[in-house]
Every structure is written in structure tokens, then in C-alpha cells.
Amino acid sequence: MAENINSNITGNNDIAEYTDDNIKTLEWNEHIRKRAGMYIGNLGSGSNPGDGIYVLLKEIIDNSIDEFSSGFGKNIAVTIEGREVTVRDFGRGIPLDSVVKATSNLNTGGKFDNKAFKKSVGLNGVGTKAVNALSEYFYIESFRNGESSFAEYSRGNLTASGKHETKEKNGTLVRYIADPELFGDFSYNLEFVETSLKNYSYLKRGLTLTLNGTAYTSKNGLLDLVNDNMSDEPLYPPIHLEGEDIEVVITHSNSYGENIASFVNGQNTRDGGTHLAALREAVVKTLKEFYKKDYAPEDIRQGIVGAISIGIQEPRFESQTKIKLGSTYLWEESRKDEDGNTVIERGPTIRSYVNDFIKTNLDNYLHIHKDTAAAIQEKINASEQERKEISGIQKKTRERSKRANIYNKKLRDCSIHYNDKLPAAKVELAEKTSIFITEGDSASGTITKARNANTQAVFSLRGKPVNCYKVSRKKVAENEELNLLINALGVEDDMADLRYNNIIVATDADDDGMHIRMLVLTFFLKYYPELVRRGHVYILQTPLFRVRNKKDVRYCYNAEERDAAVKALKGGIQITRFKGLGEISDSEFREFIGENIRLDTVSINEEESIADLLEFYMGDNTIDRQNFIRQNLKSEEELDDINI
């Protein structure tokens, strides 16, 4: 029997042999191109602010920002013409003999030496190399004291280099075109770039950044950021606190949720991290002690708006895209003792540093500005009263739902949840968790059968949810559907408890489906806007057409793709128009929600008022809304499909 088993194993031609020939060593640029997601996250097409082309731009600008932070260069010019990007700073410039090494040798850079860059963003010597490797064309030139050194690349391969005399001012010029082989048919949304440059200007007073000739600068730092981005009137003048390597602005509005921007060394940490957690904790603790009342944290933070920026030495982020701070200490340094042993010295924890700063400065501010102290307490009391009233209603609704056993029927959960307490080995998987919000048994059944049960959950709505814009918060709290949805998401008490990284609204591509989509988004925008601001909410794009002949089949997401497929497949064409998710088979749907999933990020311009947006889309201005729909539809054919 043993011989038979061995014979079956060694004789199986489907099992490849594992030999020395299987061991491969990739060139530095090949590795980056093959594993681009490790370096820049999602590639994307430029339709979302987190797409890779904006990460590439950020990596280049970060180097220029670090020069300014070190005291060199007050201007950074960014030019985007089609797909070509140029960034010119006026810092010290890269040492002339190191231009090629600094742009093509991994783990080579000037930021490993803390003497040159005390508090920079890019510390691992990867950023510029990633841009180089992922660009079909990359050019860099350094200007220093009348001399210039340049290098030119194609997909990370050096094509030219040299030195010459120059009359240019000191600094660095980078010009590149992201590789369409990797990024596909991409384009830049200049609004995303503008927002990024504005944030840099708020954080670096005295720095002027220009985008295609338009200049951005700030005199008041984070105070300008908060004032410029307030979507609702603040209940009191924003509190602006500044210290060594820390700046904080806070106020309250009558909106729901929290809206606190966070930054480290000029880097926008969209997903927060240890510094934001410390601020949230410190504000609660300080206000409870000031008012001598044991307020619930959620009542203190309801409607809070603000920003925090800190500078730390060698920040540790949780990924190469640097959107969440993972550092525990303000600084850490290692040295050798007299016996040759490695000794690690650490500064104060970020938590204690932020807490001490807020406790001292916020408490002092409130003792001086008594009108502000009174306004904050009034807001907290109002939030507390509303929360208690809503909590009682929600509890009754949930109890009624449990008795009817509705919850288990609505949520088809996945085995991994988004949770910071997951073991390290599961963190990467947790970041991929998704929940599809859909309507009706047919659609939810299709997605449930096609999904990856490890990371994808399904929540089924029953009919159209209530229009949250037109009813009171109490009425919304009585709505069974929305209560169960929030319970499934896990954000009843704190946004940090979110169980799914991706909240995907999946509705039919007809007028009813669009209406349900708008109702769900209205709920999130009004009561949980932080989910939208942090990029957790998406719209699932599903194909409108299936075009096939006897040999091939193509799925098309719009009329243009359909027409192209018809031309490509030529004779014997059969076209199917999908009007509902339930019409798509399980096997087909598996392809649309797997690696090839198409998602549109739901985003809001920070300068836009959520209240104004909801009034436009969900209010009574029917004529304006009809005109907007007509002006933005892509074809008359699509117009015929929509019942305005």
C-alpha cells in the first residue's frame, strides 16, 4: 500500500518539481512592478483619491516637503499636463554623485541619517524608487551650486545620465509618466491633487505650493484647515492650541459623528492611528475633569470637528501608503553600551505626550474662555439627552427584531471581521473584509452564493429604507432595517468597532435600485459621515450588458464597452441587458465581486456642506434634481431607462 501511494505521488505530472531552477532573484524594479500593491496599495485608474497615481505623486512631494521641514526651499511647483507630472522644489538638491543610487538602489537614501532629516515622512528609501519603477518614463535632475546631475529611466531601467553646468537655482526636478501597462487607462482628478496640496500648505506655514500655476499657502495652519473645511457652522470659535511638534484645533457643530483630520510630519494619516486615538481619549478625559461630570465619551465627541498634527522622529506607519500611524513613542534610538550590547532608548509615549498637552492647554483655554466652555457643555448635554432617548427606542426595536429572528435572516456574516484586536496574521485579511448591502431575496441570494465567505458578508434590506433626511432622529431609531444594519456594522457605540473595512452598496441598475442606493447613502452621510470621509463606503458596479458569440463572452459596464465588444466579437452576437442583480448567475457574479471587482468610492468634498448635499438630492427641489440627472446622463438610451 505504501508503495502504491508513493507511486501515485511521484508519478503525478500535475505536481511541479521544486528544484534550484525555481529559485528566482528579481531586479529591484522587477520586484516593485510585480508587487506594486506592497508599495503603493491600490493601483486604480485615478477615479478615487487613494489610487496609486496619487500615491506616486505624494511620494515625490514628500521628499520636497522634507527639504522644507529641514529649512530649505519655500516653494514647490507641481505641473500636471495630461499624464505627465513635474515636481520642482528649491531645497538642497540630491548630492550630485548620488542621483542614480538614490533613485535606483533600494534602501539607499539620505533619510537613514537622522542628522539630515529629523522628522521626515519617507524614511525607508523606497518612495522615489517605486515611482521610478512604476513609470514608463522617469527623469530626475539635481541642481547644486551651479552644477547639475541627471538620470533618465524607463520602467526603472537607466537609459541616460550625466552632469553639466547650470544656472538653475538649487533643488530637485522630477518628471515622470506612470506606466499604463500597470495603471491602465488612467487620468488625474485635479481636485484630489488640489486637496492634497492644500493640506500640505496648512501643515507647513511659510511654504507655497503651486498646481499648474495656482498657489496654495496658509497663515494660520490647522486653524485655516478647519475653518476652510467646516461644512456646518461651528457652535463656538475653534480652539487652536500649539506646542512643540504638536498642533490641535477642535470645535463642535450640530452634525453627527466625528470629523478630525490627523497628520504626522506633514503626512495625512487618513485612518488615524495612535496620535488620533490619544487625542480622542485626552479630550474626553479633560472635559470630564473640567466639568466634574462623568459624561459618556460618545456624548463629548458627538459633532466634534478638528485636526491634529504631530512631529515625531522616525514614524512607523502600518503600511507603505502611510495612512495610519503605528508608532508608540515620540522617538526611539538604539546605541551600544560599554559592553557592546544594544540599548534602546525611548522618549515619552505618544499617548502621554498628547494627553499632557491637551490636559494643560485645553483646561487653561476653557478657564479663560468661559463662553466657549458653556457652549461645549450645552452641546454635550444635548447629545446626552438625545442619545438616551434614541438608545431606549433602539433597544426596543432590537428586542422586537430578535424575537422575530429577523437579524439572522438579514445578515449572512463572514468568518473574519475588521477588528484591531485580531492576531497579527489576520490583519491583512481583515483589511479585505466587505459587507454587501443589497435589497431583496434574489439579489442577496446571488451574492451569498458567489461571495468569498471568509471575507465577504451580505446584508439584505427589505424594500426601501426610510428617508432619513425628511424624518426625525427618533423616527429613524424606530426603523428596524437601519437599526439592524448598524448592529451588523458594529458602530453603535464607537466607529473604531467597525467590523468591515469595505461597506459596499449593491443595488439594481434601475430607478428603484438607484433610489434605494440614495436612501442608504443619505443614512450614512447624515448619521455616520465618518464612514464616508474615511473611504469605507463604496458603490458596486455590475455589468449592464453581456455580449457573446459562440466562442467568447464579454461583460460590459456601459454602452461604450458594449459597442466595443460588439465590434470585437463580430458575427453571431447575442446581447443581454441585465436589469437586476438576480438576473446574473452565481458563477458569473463570482467574477464581478472577486479580484475584478469594480467599486466607486463614495466621497465628499470637505468644502461642501453635507446638509446642502442632502437638501439637493433628497429634498423637495425636484426640478433642479431632474435637470442635474439629465445633464449628467451619458446617453439618451440611459435616460430612457430612468423614471424621473
Give the cell for residue 270: 487618513
User: Across-strand partners of 461?
Assistant: 439
Task: Work out the pLDDT band at 495, boundaries 50, 70, 90.
Answer: confident
CA angle 604, 608, 610 (to 5 degrees): 75
Q: Please name the residue ranges forming H helices in 174-239.
A: 180-183, 190-203, 222-229
Q: Report, as an integer, the average pLDDT of 5-15.
A: 40
Q: Is the model more confident about 433 or about 12?
A: 433
Distance of CA 267 to the CA centre of its chain: 13
Interatomic CA distance for residues 252 and 236, integer angstroms? 7
Percent of the chain with pLDDT over 90: 37
Write down the pLDDT at residue 109: 53
Q: Are the C-beta atoms of 240 and 223 separated by less than 8 Å?
A: yes
Interatomic CA distance for residues 417 and 426, integer angstroms? 9
Whole-number mean pLDDT of the chain? 82
Instruction: Mention every residue, 6+ apart, whose C-beta is less than 8 A from residue 2.
Output: none
Q: Report, as an integer, the average pLDDT of 608-623.
A: 69
Identity at 410, one-letter amino acid code: K
- For the ranges 33-47, 58-72, 470-484, the one whose mean pLDDT is highest: 58-72
Instruction: Mention every residue, 6+ apart, whose C-beta is less than 8 A from residue 609.
Output: 231, 232
- H/E segment holding residue 249: strand 246-252
- Give the count of beta carbons closer than 10 Å to the beta carbon of residue 388: 11
Task: Work out the pLDDT band at 297, boundaries 50, 70, 90.
Answer: very high
pLDDT digits (tens, 9 = 90+) for 531-546: 888 889 999 988 888 8
Cα dihedral 277/283/289/295 (nearest 10): -80
Distances in whole angstroms, Cα of residue 271 to Cα of each of 221, 256, 313, 500, 501: 21, 19, 20, 14, 11
The 3-class secondary structure across 477-513, one letter per residue, is HCCHHHHHHHHHHCCCCCHHHCCCCEEEECCCCCHHH
**For residues 94-104, b (16+ Cβ closer than 10 Å) or e, as one string?**
beeeebbebbb
pTM of the model: 0.71
pLDDT digits (tens, 9 = 90+) for 91-105: 999 999 999 988 887
**The sheet that has 553-556: what strands, in order across it?**
553-556, 545-548, 574-577
Interatomic CA distance for residues 600 and 614, integer angstroms? 19
Q: Which of 37, 196, 223, 207 is nearest to 130 (CA)?
A: 37
Q: Report, as an integer, the average pLDDT of 211-222.
A: 95
Give the cell for residue 161: 545620465
- Cell 480652539 identifies what position? 239
Q: Report, as an integer, the average pLDDT of 226-250.
A: 92
Task: Work out the pLDDT band at 255, boundaries 50, 70, 90.
Answer: confident
Task: Work out the pLDDT band at 404, boundaries 50, 70, 90.
Answer: very low
Task: Work out the pLDDT band at 304, boundaries 50, 70, 90.
Answer: very high
Percent of the chain with pLDDT over 70: 82
The widest CA-to-CA distance across the chain, in whole angstroms, is 88
Can you give the C-alpha Rg of the chain in angstroms?
A: 27
- pLDDT exceeds cutoff 70 at 521: yes
Q: Report, as an integer, the average pLDDT of 577-586.
A: 80
- pLDDT exceeds cutoff 80 at 610: no
Q: Report, as an integer, the average pLDDT of 320-327.
A: 76
Please, what are the domains in the chain? Answer: 30-216 (3.30.565.10), 222-384 (3.30.230.10), 404-542+581-640 (3.40.50.670), 544-577 (no CATH)
Task: Work out the pLDDT band at 475, boundaries 50, 70, 90.
Answer: confident
Instruction: Mention every residue, 6+ apart, whose C-beta is less than 8 A from residue 5.
Output: none
- pLDDT exceeds cutoff 90 at 238: yes
- Of 36-40, 278-282, 459-463, which gets the smallest average pLDDT? 36-40
Write down the pLDDT at residue 368: 96
pLDDT digits (tens, 9 = 90+) for 437-467: 998 778 888 889 989 988 899 999 887 888 8
Write down the pLDDT at residue 2: 36
Write down the pLDDT at residue 23: 57
Q: Is the model more confident about 395 or about 629?
A: 395
Identity at 58, one-letter amino acid code: K
Q: Are the C-beta atoms of 359 and 282 separated by less than 8 Å?
A: yes
* Category of 73 on φ-ψ map: left (φ > 0), alpha (ψ -120 to 50) or beta: left
Write down the pLDDT at residue 405: 45
Q: Report, as an integer, the average pLDDT of 132-144.
A: 95
Q: Report, as an integer, the average pLDDT of 511-540.
A: 87
Interatomic CA distance for residues 171 and 228, integer angstroms? 31
Write down the pLDDT at residue 626: 64
Interatomic CA distance for residues 349 and 545, integer angstroms? 56
Write down the pLDDT at residue 430: 67
Q: Report, as an integer, the average pLDDT of 420-441.
A: 70
Interatomic CA distance for residues 172 and 77, integer angstroms? 11
Phi, psi of 213 (to 5 degrees): 95, -15
Q: Report, as an integer, the average pLDDT of 141-165.
A: 94
Q: Report, as an integer, the average pLDDT of 581-590.
A: 82
pLDDT digits (tens, 9 = 90+) for 307-318: 999 988 888 877
Interatomic CA distance for residues 32 and 20, integer angstroms? 23
- pLDDT exceeds cutoff 60 at 85: yes
Task: Work out the pLDDT band at 398, boundaries 50, 70, 90.
Answer: low
